[in-house]
Structure 1
Amino acid sequence: MLLGLNNVEVVYDRVFMAVTGVSLQVPGQGIVALLGANGAGKSTTLKAVSGLLKPERGLVTKGTLTFDGRDVTGLAPAERVRLGIVHVLEGRRVFPHLTPMENLMAATTMHGDRRAAAHRAEEVMERFPRLRQRARSEAGYLSGGEQQMLAIGRALMTAPRLIMLDEPSLGLAPHLVDEIFDTIAHIAAETGMGVLLVEQNADAALAIAAHGYLIENGRVVMSGPAAELRDNPDIRDFYLGGGGSVDYARVKHYRRRKRWLS
């Protein structure tokens, strides 16, 4: 197993517990989806893995995070990147005044081999032809979908073994969402890397994932093969937008059933 979280707790400002005991695993190859509503603890979980909690006054106070069998709980973010962990943050976060190629090369500052970096940049451009078409544009003028492609491409520049994606479909038109998820699936299949995908678009995420975890109030309450989660009637009604009017008797029944999950 490439990534393992065992009973991880995260506290902000030494007071607010945002994650209350998350355990999950990501294999060395394939896509794992982490699902849940706003505020459930999905993004915090990713930041615990990448080491980006400190700027937000967050801290892992319990549990362990292992990567390829090594405990990385106390490592700095840059060290985790060198090991092969890369995190594509929510909202894309590209450098708006740099061109796409300059954005890509900026991700390789910790690597001394500029020739290898230039080669990886060309591979990214081949994977995302639209970025080559916009090569002279500043990244701030790219469309939302193009910026997301650039953010993913920039992550690939570090030659990762695990890529974590936080809400890659956020704010994108439906046809662009399909394109982004197709791209993620192709990257996972072609590169053989592990992918941990955080998404509120649960249908799209489970369509490309092999395994899924559902997180509520900072805890994993359900996990299993993606196909089983998609077919679960409670998951479909309450997380996949089952549609139709609200059946309050079923809501009450679901809440009773959830006691075994807690």
Structure 2
Amino acid sequence: MPRLALSNVEVVYDKVFLAIKGVSLEVEEGDIVALLGANGAGKSTTLKAISGLLGPERGAVTRGEIAFGDLDLLSLGPPKRVEAGLVHVLEGRRIFGHLTPEENLLAAFPSGRSSARFTELRERVYTYFPRLKERGRAKAGYLSGGEQQMLAIGRALMTEPRLIMLDEPSLGLSPLLVQEIFAIIREINEREGVSVLLVEQNANAALEIVRHAYLVENGQIVMDGSAEVLKQNPDVQEFYLGGGGKVDYHAVKHYRRRKRWLA
């Protein structure tokens, strides 16, 4: 059984706008999967449908099923989904800027657990992100963009997740920092056995660490396959990986026809 499975999911905003249309995907236990696509393609909406965060944006899942192991996620509120082992690291970090890194970690730690367990999980986070320990007395709002992203991921680990969803972790970071953070994501996946669903516009970086990827356009999955297969696809190379030389924009319409056929 897949750790996460979406089947023909549709999301509507304001009871009018159809944002994602019949999305189906799977993340196997211990796997690392990417959801790729341009800005506005429906990637973040897909993650919010899974984590239950559509409500504040006047969105709702109107069709389809979302299963997390043997759980029906659509019957659970966001807190219960976190308790089940699903955690969502939102785009833009969303750390508590007025708190220190350790206070941010404590804020994410489930209430009612022992202080010894908090210490153990905190030290595990510091093992992956030693820079957070070095900046322990600083307010999180004064951390660099890369350090804030590390803190956002570390805070997610405090919930002891079975699956982490990461929304644009490379956003606003230098190529070297992107490489560092993606290497740590892969290490967490391998060492902890935590499944990862990674949303990214930076297809080059994502395809270096994932095993499988889905490509989203206009709210639909138009292609999926192993990372190696997608990297070799000439359409993906031309429009997402920066290859293929100068883009012939007159061919874009034909390109989309080919993708619908491939899907």
Q: TM-score, normalised by structure 1?
A: 0.96
Question: Is residue 123 from structure 1 mapped to residue 124 from structure 2 by the alignment?
Answer: yes
Q: Deviations over 1:104-157 (max 9, x none)?
A: 010014343232122101111121110011000000000000000000000000
Deviation at 1:67, TM superposition (A): 0.4
Alignment of 1:134-213 (within 5 A): 134-213=135-214
> Which one-letter code corresponds to 1:97 in the other structure?
H
1:40-93: CA deviation from partner (whole Å, max 9, x where unpaired) = 000000001111111111100000000012211121000000000000000001
Give percent identity, aligned residues only.
64
CA shift for structure 1 position 30: 1.9
Counterpart in the other structure of 2:80: 79
Over 3 Å counting, the alpha-carbon distance change for 1:103 and 1:7 in structure 2 is: same
Shift of 1:243: 5.5
- SS of the aligned residue for 2:109 comes to coil
Secondary structure, counterpart of 2:242 in structure 1: coil
Q: Against the structure 1 CA distance between its residues 25 and 253, is the aligned structure 2 distance closer, same or farther, given a 3 Å change threshold?
A: same
Q: TM-score, normalised by structure 2?
A: 0.96
Of stretches 122-131 and 157-166 in structure 1, the one that deviates more from structure 2 is: 122-131
Match of 1:244 in 2: 245
Partner of 2:230, secondary structure, is: helix
2:16 aligned residue: 15
Q: Which amino acid aligns with 2:119?
A: A
- Shift of the 76–255 alpha-carbon distance from structure 1 to 2, 3 Å rule, reads closer
What stretches of structure 1 of length at least 5 have no aligned partner? none
Report the AA paired with residue 5 of structure 2. G
Report how far residue 242 of structure 1 moved.
1.4
Provide the aligned C-alpha RMSD in A: 1.3
Distance 1:248 1:37, change over 3 A: closer
- Alignment gaps of 5+ in structure 2: none
Give the distance between the partners of 1:123 and 1:84, measured in 2 at CA. 18
- Which residue is equivalent to 1:233? 234
Change (3 A) 1:191 1:239: same
User: SS of 1:73's equivalent?
Assistant: helix
For residues 169 and 214 of structure 1, the distance between their equivalents in structure 2, rounded to whole angstroms, comes to: 18
- 1:89 and 2:102 aligned: no
Cα distance between partner residues in 2 of 1:160 and 1:257: 38
User: Residue type of the partner of 1:121?
Assistant: R
